[in-house]
Amino acid sequence: MKQLGYILTDKGSKYAVSGCAVTDRLGIDAALKMLKADRAYAKATHNSWGAWLRDGGPVKGDDGESGAGMVILRMLERDAVQDHLIVVTRWYGGKHLGGDRFRHVQTCVRAYLDAI
């Protein structure tokens, strides 16, 4: 699992991005389990994720951050990235971010895609 760590902060919320190659749902579940083995990520408010599987189509998980998984999927589709899981982690800082949270998810995913 490639972890880029903290990408940005806003109003106390911190965002990080991680990802790895996967080929099926079992691989996604194993990767998420490995990420959450790190106590900091296990205690995060949200671990939103998305993957576009060549043999399984789009799969996502918002983990309470409604709509974040779809943002990740759209970016994977736009860049034609398949069989790769991207997880955007947020530690809530106490203040609502409104629509900014989607821009932050996009920023994190773009940083990850640029790094691979």
Alpha-carbon gap, residue 26 to 100, rounded angstroms? 32
Alpha-carbon gap, residue 6 to 65, rounded angstroms? 18
| pTM of the full structure | 0.95
What are the structure tokens assigned to 8, written together? 């940005």
pLDDT tens by residue, the chain, 116 residues? 999 989 899 999 999 999 999 999 999 999 999 999 999 999 999 999 999 999 999 999 999 999 999 999 999 999 999 999 999 999 999 898 988 999 999 999 999 999 98
Alpha-carbon gap, residue 39 to 84, rounded angstroms? 23
Amino acid 108 reads C
